[in-house]
Chain A
Amino acid sequence: MEFLASDQIAIVDLASGEVETEEFSDELCQEKIGGAGVNLALYNQHADGDPIVLGAGLFTGSLVPGSGLGVLTAKSPLTNTVVHAPLTQYLGMELKYSGFDYIVIKNAAAAPTMLWVHDGILDVEDASGLAGLDVWAAVDKVRADKGDDLIQVLGAGPAAQSSDLAGLMINYWAAGDRFGLGRALAAKNLRLVAIRGLGLLEIAEDEDFVAQCVALQAAVKGGAWAGSRGLVDLAKAMGQDALAGWMAPLAHRHRANFNTPFAANTFLFLEGDPAELAEPAQAEMGVLLTDLGAPAVLQQMGLELKDAGAIVKQCAKLGLDPGLVAKVCADTGKSDAAAISGALESLSGPVEGLAGPFSPSVPRAAMFGIDQAADEAWWTRRQAVAYIFGLDPLFALLAPELEEAKLVELAALGTVLEFSQDGLDAVIAEVCG
Chain B
Amino acid sequence: MGVKIDPLKCTACMACELACGYHRDDAFALLSSCIVVYRTRDKKDYFGVILKEEEDLVIARPEGLEVKRIGAVEEGGGGGDASAKPMLLREACDQCEDRDDGPLCMQICPVDAIYLD
* Chain B residues near A262 (CB-CB < 8 A): 110
A283–B44 Cα distance when bound, in Å, is 6
Contact across chains for B13 and A261 when beta carbons are under 8 A apart: yes
* Chain A residues near B8 (CB-CB < 8 A): 277
- Choose one: B13, B42, B45, B101; the contact of A252 (CB below 8 Å): B45
Task: Tell me, yes or no, whether A385 is within 8 Å of chain B by CB.
Answer: no
Chain A binder among B28-36, B49-57, B67-75: B28-36
Q: Which residue of B lies closest to A171 (CB)?
A: B42
Q: A63-B22, A221-B110, A277-B62 are in contact. Are A263 and B13 (CB under 8 A)?
A: yes
Contact across chains for B111 and A261 when beta carbons are under 8 A apart: yes
Task: Tell me, yes or no, whether B65 is within 8 Å of chain A by CB.
Answer: no
A203–B18 Cα distance when bound, in Å, is 13
A202–B26 Cα distance when bound, in Å, is 8
Contact across chains for A198 and B31 when beta carbons are under 8 A apart: yes
A9–B39 Cα distance when bound, in Å, is 29
* Chain A residues near B111 (CB-CB < 8 A): 229, 261, 263
Cβ distance A153 to chain B, nearest Cβ, rounded Å: 11
Q: Which residue of A lies closest to B110 (CB)?
A: A261
Residues of A within 8 A of B (CB): 4, 61-63, 65, 68, 90, 93, 97, 136, 147-151, 171-173, 196, 198-203, 206, 210, 213-214, 217-218, 220-221, 229, 252-263, 267, 269, 277-280, 282-286, 288
Cβ distance B80 to chain A, nearest Cβ, rounded Å: 5
Q: A200-B29, A255-B12 are in contact. Are A65 and B81 (CB under 8 A)?
A: no
* Chain A residues near B43 (CB-CB < 8 A): 136, 172, 283-285
* Chain A residues near B28 (CB-CB < 8 A): 4, 61-63, 200-201, 203
* Chain A residues near B15 (CB-CB < 8 A): 63, 217, 259
Contact across chains for B22 and A210 when beta carbons are under 8 A apart: yes
Can you name 22 A-B pairs with beta carbons within 8 Å? A63-B22, A68-B13, A93-B14, A97-B29, A150-B83, A171-B42, A172-B42, A203-B28, A206-B22, A210-B22, A214-B101, A214-B107, A221-B110, A253-B62, A255-B12, A256-B13, A256-B110, A258-B13, A258-B14, A259-B15, A278-B62, A279-B44
Contact across chains for B46 and A254 when beta carbons are under 8 A apart: no
- Choose one: A65, A198, A256, A277; the contact of B12 (CB below 8 Å): A256
Cβ distance A61 to chain B, nearest Cβ, rounded Å: 6
A285–B43 Cα distance when bound, in Å, is 6
Q: Is the interface of A mostly helix, strand, loop or mixed?
A: loop
Given contacts A200-B29, A279-B63, A285-B45, 6 further A-B contacts (CB under 8 A): A150-B39, A151-B83, A258-B13, A267-B45, A277-B63, A283-B43
Cβ distance B64 to chain A, nearest Cβ, rounded Å: 8
Contact across chains for A63 and B47 when beta carbons are under 8 A apart: no
Total number of residue pairs linking A and B with CB closer than 8 Å: 124
Contact across chains for A217 and B83 when beta carbons are under 8 A apart: no
Q: A63-B19, A280-B46 are in contact. Are A260 and B13 (CB under 8 A)?
A: yes
* Chain B residues near A147 (CB-CB < 8 A): 83
Cβ distance A279 to chain B, nearest Cβ, rounded Å: 5
Cβ distance B34 to chain A, nearest Cβ, rounded Å: 16
Q: A172-B43, A201-B27, A202-B27 are in contact. Are A149 and B13 (CB under 8 A)?
A: no
Contact across chains for A255 and B14 when beta carbons are under 8 A apart: no
Cβ distance A269 to chain B, nearest Cβ, rounded Å: 7
* Chain B residues near A202 (CB-CB < 8 A): 27
A263–B31 Cα distance when bound, in Å, is 24
* Chain B residues near A221 (CB-CB < 8 A): 110, 112
A108–B59 Cα distance when bound, in Å, is 46
Q: Which residue of B lies closest to A202 (CB)?
A: B27
Contact across chains for A199 and B62 when beta carbons are under 8 A apart: no
